[in-house]
Structure 1
Amino acid sequence: MLPGKIQTLSAEVVDLIAAGEVIDSLAAVVREVVENALDADANRISVAVYSDLWRVRVADNGTGMNLTDLQQAASPHSTSKICSSNDLWNITSLGFRGEALHSIAALAELEICSRLTGTFEGWRAGYNSQGEPLVVESIAIAPGTVVTVSNLFGNWQLRRQGLPSIPQQLRAIQTTIQHIALCHPHVTWQVQQNDRPWFTISPSNSAKQILPQIIKQVRVSDLQELIVKVPTPNLRSGLDDNMLAKPITSEEKPSYSENQQNISYSKNQQNLSCLETKLSEIKVLLGLPDRCHRHRPDWVRVATNGRFVRSPELEQTILAAMARTLPRDRYPICFIHLQICPSQIDWNRHPAKAEIYLHSLSYWKEKITQTIEQALRISPTNLPEALQSQRVGKLLKASEAKGGYNLNRAIEATQEDKQTQKNADIGLIELQAVAQVHNRYILAQHPTGMWLIEQHIAHERVLYEQICDRWQLVPLETPIILNYLTSIQVEQLQRIGIEVEPFGEQLWAIRNAPSLLKERSDCPDALLELSLGGDLETAQVATACRSAIRNGTALSLPEMQTLLNQWKATRNPRTCPHGRPIYLSLEESALARFFRRNWVIGKSHGIEQGDGSPLLVIG
C-alpha cells in the first residue's frame, strides 16, 4: 500500500486551532468539499444538489487520493495541508484544519470515490459517524474525486427544521459557487439540481469574464480590471500601521539582489525596512460608475488568497474611494482580490474562515484606495478600443509588407506630435477639442473615435476635486447680509466653517465664504443653498456645481481644450459628483460598422486567426 499524504495533527497543533468547521447547511457542505477539490488542483468541478433528499455530490478532476489517504480522509484533525504549529501562520491552501470531512461524516452519510493521478485503480469508501471507513472497495473511476453527502441532519430533525428554507439554501449554494468562481476563474463549473442543469460558469483567465456570467445585467465592457503589484509589509520590523502606510517615492524604491534575504535601501532606510522583497498583488474588478451600479451594496466584495472574506474596514474603504462617483442611493460594483504573503493573514479566527485578521490594515486600505483611483482614471490602458485600434494598425502594416505594396497613411510627425505621443505614453489619453454643440457639449476627437463631453458637469468634476484638495474659506471685505435664516441654517453654516453674526432683527452678516464663490454675483444665493443642510462634502459639491460654467455658455477652442486637459487629469473623470456620466463615447469601430465600412483580411495577406480563419478588420 502506498504511503499517504494525510496525517493526523499533533495535540499541540490541535490545541492552537481556534475553532472547528461549522456545517450548518447544504451550502456549507458544498463550500468545504469544493475547497478540497480546488486544493487538489481541480480545474473542472461538477456539483449536483438533491434538496429533497438533503444530498450533495461534488465531482472533480483533481489529483485524487490513494487508498491510504482515502481511509484517513474523514478522521478528526487529519490533513495533508499543514504539519506543524508554524504552518498555521503560513496557510497557502483553502483548508487546513482537517475537520471538514469528519464534521460532515458526523452529520450525514459520507461516501468518497477517488483515484490518484498516475495510477490505474480507484477506490470507494463509506464512513461511519466517527469518520472511520466501513466499506472499502476498488472501483473504475477517472482520476479525481467524487464526494457524496446524503441525508444531512437525518438524525437531527429539530436542527434540520431550524434551518433556512430550501429555496434560501439553494440561493446560498449558488452564491457560494459564484464567489469561489470569481476567485478561481480558470475552473469550469457545471451545477445540477435534481438531475437537471441548473447553471454553468465557463472558465477564463480573469474575473472580468466571470462576473457578467453571474450578474446578467453587467457586460464585459462595463467593467474595468486592474492588477497592481505592491510591496509586502514585513511583520518582523515592529513598525506600526502608520509607518507602513507611507507611500513609496521613486527615490525610495528598494534595490534587490538575487540571493538577498533583506532589502537594502538607498534612502529612508528606517521607514522602508518594513518591506519584504516579495511583492503582493491587488486585483480590482470595478464596474465603471457611468455604466453600472446597484441599489444595494451587495457587490462590494473582498477576497484574500482565493477566498471571499467579510472585511467591514476594507469594504468601507471601497465605498469611500468611490464616493461622489455614483447617483444618490446607488452603490458600486467592486471586487477586490488581495493575493498577499500568508504571513500577513491570520485565518485561525472564524470557524468557516469567513473572517480574518489582516496585519498592517492601514497599509492595505491605502493601497486599495490608490488602486481604485487608478482604475477610475481615463487612459489608453483603460480603453480596450484603443488597444484594439493599435492591434488593427499593426495587422494592416504586416499585411502591406507581405502583400508587396505599401501605403503612406501618416503625415511626417512633427516635434509637437512626438511630444503628444510622449504624453500618451505616461497614461493620459489625448483629446483634441473640435467644436461646441449647442453651447452645451464639447466635441472632441481621440485616437479611437470621438467623445461628447457635457461642459458643465465636466467642469463641476474639476472644481469639486480642486475644492476637496484645498477647501479654502476667505474673508469678505464687505460682509454679505442674509435675512430670515433659521437657527438650523445658522448652525449649518457654522458647521462648515462660515462665520455668521447677528446684524439686526432677522438679519445675519456673513464674514467669509468659499474662495470660488467670493467673486460671484450669486454668492448670497449660493450661501443660502449651503445653509440648507448636509455635511462638508455636500457643501463642497454644491459649491462646485454653483461655480461651474453653465450650459449655454459659448467657449472658444482654447477654452474647450483647457477644460478637457483639466478634466481628463481628474481622479474620477467618468462621472460628476452627483453620479451623472460626463461623456458619451462614439468609437471609430462602431461608426465604421454603422457605415458598413468592413472588409476581411484573408490568407492572401498572410494574416490569420489562431484557428486559421481570416481576420475581420473594420476600416
Structure 2
Amino acid sequence: MIKGLPGYRYTVNSIKILSEEVVDLIAAGEVIDSVAAVVRELVENAIDAKATRISVSLWPQQWRIEVADNGEGMNLANLKLAALAHSTSKIATARDLLKISSLGFRGEALHSIAQLSDLEILSRPGFSSSPSSGWRVVYNHQGETEMVEAVAIAPGTVVRVSNLFANWSSRRTAGPTATQQLRGAQLLLQQIALCHPQVTWQIHQNDRPWLRFGPAMTTQQMLPEFIRGIRAGDLQYLKMDVDPPESVEECHENLSKSWLEVVIGLPDRASRGRKDWVKIGVNGRMVRSPELEPTILSAFARTCGRDRYPICFVHLHIDPALIDWNRHPSKAEIYLHYLKHWQDQIHLAIDQTLKLNPESLSAGVNPIEKLLRVSEDTASYRTRPTPLESAENPQRIDVPKLKAIGQIHNTYIVAEHPEGLWLVEQHIAHERVIYEQLCRRWQVIPLSTPIILANLSEAQLEQLTRLNLEVDPFGEGLWAIRSAPEILCDRPDCQEALIELSHGGDLQAAQVATACRSAIRNGTPLSLTEMQTLLDQWVTTRSPRTCPHGRPIFLSLEESSLARFFRRSWVIGKSHGL
C-alpha cells in the first residue's frame, strides 16, 4: 500500500496477461453491441479504480464516448498492456475466480472496444511518488500500442472511444437509434449509481451538460432523482447486518462481514404500475435474480393496491467467496451459495422496514426536538437513536405510542401520538389485524349445524374443496357445508360469507375476503377501550400502512404541519401561545 493524497490510499496492481488455463475457465464475455455497453465497461473500470467522481460524455450521432475519472490511474507499463486480450489486474489464477471482489475481471473489455473503434487512454497514477505528468497511449485494432506521448493531466484516467463500429456498419444500421442509445446509457448509469451512491456523476451530451446526480449517503437520497413524483419522505431505508449461514462449509470459513441495504417505497405513498423498480444489487453490481425477485414480491404481498407493484431496491454486501460471478457472460446473473439464507434475510429486512417506527412516520420534527438534536451534535449524550442507529439495529423497533381520544362519524378513530394526530379508518385497520391473524393460523372447524347452499357451479364446488371445506350433496341442486373458517362460524352472515369464498381465488384471496367480512364495520360505535385495543393490535402488524387491498389505513397530521397552518411562532424564552 502506498500513501497518496490526504484521505486516500492507493493500491498499485500490475496488469498481466491471463494464462490459457484461467481464460478457459471464464464464461465468454458479452458482445459490445451498443454505446451503453461501452459506457458500462468503462464506468465499471473507473469504479474498480476507486473513483469518487466520474464524467461521461456522449456523442451518439458521431459514435464517440469519453469517460473521465479521478481514480488510481495507470503508469506507462500498465497502459501498454491495458488493451491486449485477457489483460487484467483483477485476477491472476484460477482460485481468484472463486473470490471476485471487482466489477470487471475478464480482461476483455478494452480489447473488444479497441477492435471495434479508435481507442486512446490518458492516465496518471494518483499516489504522491508518481510523475508530475501522465501518458497518452493510442492503440490499434489489436489492442497493441501504436503511439505514446507525455501529457499534462490530473491524477486519474480518461478513456476516449471514437468511430465506434466504423468497421462493423451492420451494428450502426441495425442497432438502436441515437435516442435509444442515450436512453440505454441513462438507464445503465442510473443502475450503477444506485449501487454506488457515494460517487459524483456528470453526464454530457453533445458537449452540453445533460445529467448530474450524487453524491449521497444512501440510495434513499438517490431514488427521487430517478423516479418521477417520488420524494425522499416516501421511501424508507434500512441497513442490517447479516449473520453467516449456519451450515457454512469448511471451505467457506473465515468469511468477511455481510450486510444488506433495503430501500422501499412506503406502500401507502409510493407504488408502480409495473415491476420495473424491483431491483437487486450484489457487491456493487445490479443483477437479475430469478430466485430473489419472487422473495421481494412475496414480502410485499397484500400491501399494494390491485395491479400495483412495490418500489424496492435490495443491495447485498457479502463475502465474494459466496458468489459465483461466472454464471453469465454479462455478469448480470449470478449464483449465490446458501440461497435460502439470503432469501430469509431479505424477507426479514423488508418486514422490518415496513413496520411503523418514528423515523418513517414524520416528515417534520417539532422545534423542541430540533433544539435537542442541535445540542446532541456538540455533546456526548443522546436522547434517542439516530436514523443510522435505528437502521443498523432493525430488531430495535420503537412502536409509536398511540392514545385513542375519540371517534368521528363512528368510522375514524382519532389517535394522539407524540408528534401529532392520526385519523385511523377502523374497518380497514381491523381488516389488517384479522388478515395477518388468518395468515398465521387459518383454521377450518366443523359447523354445529350444516349450512345449506343452493345452485353452486362446478367451479364454486372446486373452490370450496380447495379451501378444505367439507361439502356434501344434500338433494337436487343443494349442498351441505359442514365446516367453515373458525372466524366465520358464529357470524349470522356465515352463509353469505361462504358464497363469497366460493367465487374463486387462492387461499390468500380467501383470507382477505374473510378478513374484510369479519372486520368492524364503519358506522359501528366503539368505546375508548375498544378503540385503544384496536390501535394496539394494529400498530404491531407486519404491514400496518395499508389494508390487504392496498388502501392507506391512516392519515397523519404532524404537529409541525399544525403549527404552520395556525401560524404559531416558537421563540425561546418567550411565550407565544405555547
**Does the alignment reach a TM-score above 0.5?**
yes
Letter of the aligned partner of 2:421 in structure 1? M
Is the contact between residue 293 and residue 333 of structure 1 (CA under 8 Å) also seen in structure 2?
Answer: yes
Output one character per residue of 1:485-507: Cα deviation in whole Å (capped at 9) or x when no partner.
11111111111111111111211
What is the Cα deviation at residue 91 of structure 1?
A: 1.0
Is the contact between residue 115 and residue 142 of structure 1 (CA under 8 Å) also seen in structure 2?
Answer: yes
Is the contact between residue 109 and residue 151 of structure 1 (CA under 8 Å) also seen in structure 2?
Answer: yes
Equivalent in the alignment of 2:67: 58
Equivalent in the alignment of 1:169: 181
User: Structure 2: how far apart are the matches of 1:389 and 1:33?
Assistant: 48
Equivalent in the alignment of 1:340: 318
Letter of the aligned partner of 1:394 in structure 2? L
Is the contact between residue 234 and residue 275 of structure 1 (CA under 8 Å) also seen in structure 2?
Answer: no
User: How big is the alpha-carbon RMSD for the aligned residues of Structure 1 and Structure 2?
Assistant: 2.3
Query: What are structure 1's unaligned runs of at least 5 residues?
Result: 240-273, 402-423, 606-617
Equivalent in the alignment of 1:97: 106
What is the Cα deviation at residue 145 of structure 1?
A: 0.8
Equivalent in the alignment of 1:523: 494
- Where 2:543 maps in the other structure, the secondary structure is coil
User: Structure 2: how far apart are the matches of 1:308 and 1:531?
Assistant: 43
Equivalent in the alignment of 1:487: 458
Is the contact between residue 103 and residue 284 of structure 2 (CA under 8 Å) also seen in structure 1?
Answer: yes
What is the Cα deviation at residue 86 of structure 1?
A: 1.4
- Where 1:444 maps in the other structure, the secondary structure is strand
Q: Identity rate of aligned residues, in percent?
A: 60
Matches within 5 A, 1:581-592: 581-592=552-563
Is the contact between residue 202 and residue 211 of structure 2 (CA under 8 Å) also seen in structure 1?
Answer: yes
Is the contact between residue 128 and residue 134 of structure 1 (CA under 8 Å) also seen in structure 2?
Answer: yes
Equivalent in the alignment of 1:160: 172
Q: Which deviates further from its counterpart, 424-433 or 19-28? A: 424-433
- Where 1:571 maps in the other structure, the secondary structure is coil
2:147 to 135, 154, 157: 135
User: Structure 1: how far apart are the matches of 2:419 and 2:480?
Assistant: 54
Does residue 543 of the first structure (1) align with residue 542 of the second (2)? no
Cα separation, partners in 2 of 1:285 and 1:425, compared to 1, 3 Å: closer
User: Structure 2: how far apart are the matches of 1:300 and 1:276?
Assistant: 32
1:179 to 177, 188, 191: 191
Name segments (4+ residues, structure 1) moved above 6 Å.
386-390, 396-399
1:219 to 231, 254, 261: 231
Letter of the aligned partner of 1:503 in structure 2? F
What is the Cα deviation at residue 591 of structure 1?
A: 1.2
- Where 1:337 maps in the other structure, the secondary structure is strand
Cα separation, partners in 2 of 1:469 and 1:497, compared to 1, 3 Å: same
User: Structure 2: how far apart are the matches of 1:180 and 1:388?
Assistant: 37
User: Structure 2: how far apart are the matches of 1:294 and 1:447?
Assistant: 32
Q: Which deviates further from its counterpart, 299-308 or 4-13? A: 4-13
Does residue 280 of the first structure (1) align with residue 258 of the second (2)? yes
User: Structure 2: how far apart are the matches of 1:500 and 1:193?
Assistant: 68
- Where 1:461 maps in the other structure, the secondary structure is helix
Is the contact between residue 264 and residue 313 of structure 2 (CA under 8 Å) also seen in structure 1?
Answer: yes
Q: Which deviates further from its counterpart, 339-348 or 156-165? A: 156-165
Equivalent in the alignment of 1:42: 51
2:163 to 141, 151, 154: 151
What is the Cα deviation at residue 158 of structure 1?
A: 1.6
Equivalent in the alignment of 1:84: 93
**Alignment: residue pair count:** 546
Equivalent in the alignment of 1:413: none
Is the contact between residue 350 and residue 356 of structure 1 (CA under 8 Å) also seen in structure 2?
Answer: yes
User: Structure 2: how far apart are the matches of 1:48 and 1:189?
Assistant: 11
Equivalent in the alignment of 1:436: 407
- Where 1:65 maps in the other structure, the secondary structure is coil
Is the contact between residue 234 and residue 265 of structure 2 (CA under 8 Å) also seen in structure 1?
Answer: yes
User: Structure 1: how far apart are the matches of 2:396 and 2:314?
Assistant: 27
Equivalent in the alignment of 1:499: 470
Cα separation, partners in 2 of 1:15 and 1:385, compared to 1, 3 Å: same
Is the contact between residue 447 and residue 483 of structure 2 (CA under 8 Å) also seen in structure 1?
Answer: yes
Is the contact between residue 300 and residue 335 of structure 1 (CA under 8 Å) also seen in structure 2?
Answer: yes
Letter of the aligned partner of 1:22 in structure 2? V
What is the Cα deviation at residue 216 of structure 1?
A: 2.1
Is the contact between residue 109 and residue 152 of structure 1 (CA under 8 Å) also seen in structure 2?
Answer: yes
User: Structure 1: how far apart are the matches of 2:190 and 2:365?
Assistant: 30
Letter of the aligned partner of 1:366 in structure 2? D
What is the Cα deviation at residue 600 of structure 1?
A: 6.4
User: Structure 1: how far apart are the matches of 2:416 and 2:22?
Assistant: 64
What is the Cα deviation at residue 21 of structure 1?
A: 4.0
Output one character per residue of 1:493-534: Cα deviation in whole Å (capped at 9) or x when no partner.
111111111111211111011111111111111111111111
Matches within 5 A, 1:205-216: 205-216=217-228
User: Structure 1: how far apart are the matches of 2:367 and 2:317?
Assistant: 32
Is the contact between residue 33 and residue 58 of structure 1 (CA under 8 Å) also seen in structure 2?
Answer: yes
Letter of the aligned partner of 1:520 in structure 2? R
Matches within 5 A, 1:218-617: 218-233=230-245, 237=249, 278-383=256-361, 391-392=369-370, 394=372, 427-599=398-570
User: Structure 2: how far apart are the matches of 1:122 and 1:294?
Assistant: 48
Is the contact between residue 228 and residue 281 of structure 1 (CA under 8 Å) also seen in structure 2?
Answer: yes
What is the Cα deviation at residue 309 of structure 1?
A: 0.3
Letter of the aligned partner of 1:340 in structure 2? I
Letter of the aligned partner of 2:157 in structure 1? T
Does residue 194 of the first structure (1) align with residue 172 of the second (2)? no
User: Structure 2: how far apart are the matches of 1:142 and 1:4?
Assistant: 20
Output one character per residue of 1:251-308: Cα deviation in whole Å (capped at 9) or x when no partner.
xxxxxxxxxxxxxxxxxxxxxxx98564311110000000010010000000000000
What is the Cα deviation at residue 161 of structure 1?
A: 2.3
Equivalent in the alignment of 1:5: 14
User: Structure 1: how far apart are the matches of 2:122 and 2:246?
Assistant: 43
Is the contact between residue 380 and residue 386 of structure 1 (CA under 8 Å) also seen in structure 2?
Answer: no
Is the contact between residue 233 and residue 276 of structure 1 (CA under 8 Å) also seen in structure 2?
Answer: no
Letter of the aligned partner of 1:150 in structure 2? S
User: Structure 2: how far apart are the matches of 1:164 and 1:398?
Assistant: 55
What is the Cα deviation at residue 70 of structure 1?
A: 1.1
Query: What are structure 2's unaligned runs of at least 5 residues?
Result: 1-11, 380-394
- Where 1:338 maps in the other structure, the secondary structure is strand
